[in-house]
Amino acid sequence: MTLEGGAGPDFVSVTELSNDTVTREQVERMCHRYYWAGNYCRGRDTVEAGCGTGQGAGYLASLAKSYQAGDYSEEILAIARAHYGERIGFLRFDAQYMPFPDRSLDVVVLFEALYYVPSADRFTAECRRVLRPGGMVLVATANKDLFDFNPSPFSTVYHGVREIDELFGRHGFDIDLFGYMPVEGLSLRQTVLRPIKKFVVSSGLMPRTMAGKKLLKRLVFGSLVPLPPEIAEGMIPYTPPIPIAKGQADARHKVIYCVATVR
């Protein structure tokens, strides 16, 4: 589905919106993926697709040579624009059809959104078009290979370690994969409740929107906190994600990171 294809799904209902109440883990995951990306975006021409309400925009813009960002949803972008004003210009665009010239970018960022893109192959081919030789695509995605995985209601296809490797490999990228937030480090409460979550998901009882999930999140994670409209350095302790092997499913980490580099 492209911008010309009509109204599309209500992504607002499944997006982590600025100032909404979320778990501390959600804040930690958001900060971590942008801290990680900053190492690759520093001094480079960068575009973030699926930027949401722009929590990481200010951070990446402070590091990159140039930074542009966009999202599919005009309603979501309005929240980002209200926060940043003239500091950052946000564009409405479809990640499958990015409004940038051939070989004009060094980095494309897509966080927690690959599964919403109707054609991951079309997005990957588009990245190959806009990136210069040696350019990189940075992807962070929820790990579909966890036994208690819960897909978003508007998702198209989730890619685990094997699928990400195959996707970018067939488009001429070299791939490095990393895992973040190992399940063996979960709190006792989360560990005990994981089988219950799996039952709720498999039974079709899981709420479909962010708002509907809040009660369940309070049960599993405890009190909720506001999601900051803009992250900053030092909001969480940062440790690099763990390199993981390609070719086999990973069931140890909540989040999969990918660096796909143009050959």
Q: How far apart are CA 83 and CA 229, in angstroms?
A: 7
Range from 137-151, 157-171, 214-228 carrying the lowest mean pLDDT: 214-228
Mean pLDDT of the chain: 90
Backbone angle region of 95, left / alpha / beta, with phi > 0 → left and psi within -120 to 50 → alpha? alpha
pLDDT of residue 210: 66
Nearest to 111 by CA among 40, 21, 43, 171: 40
Band (pLDDT 50/70/90 cuts) for residue 4 is: very low
Q: How far apart are CA 246 and CA 259, in angstroms?
A: 12
Written as one letter, the residue type at 62 is S
Band (pLDDT 50/70/90 cuts) for residue 259 is: very high
Nearest to 259 by CA among 183, 159, 164, 171: 164
Residue with tokens 């309400």: 53
Instruction: List, for residues 40-79, the tens digit of each pLDDT value.
Output: 999 999 999 999 999 999 999 999 999 999 999 999 999 9
Instruction: List, for residues 188-244, the tens digit of each pLDDT value.
Output: 666 666 666 666 657 775 666 666 666 666 655 668 899 999 999 999 999 999 999
Q: How far apart are CA 231 and CA 55, in angstroms?
A: 6
SS3 62: helix
> Cα separations (Å) of 211 from 7, 9, 12, 20, 217?
21, 16, 11, 9, 10
- pTM, whole model, 2 decimals? 0.87
Please calculate the CA angle 180-146-76 and round it to the nearest 5 degrees.
65
pLDDT of residue 86: 95
CA distance between the termini of the chain: 29
Q: How far apart are CA 12 and CA 14, in angstroms?
A: 6
Do residues 141 and 115 lie in contact, with contact meaning Cβ atoms separated by under 8 Å? yes
Length of the chain (residues): 263
Question: Angle at which helices 161-169 and 120-130 pack, to 10 degrees?
Answer: 50
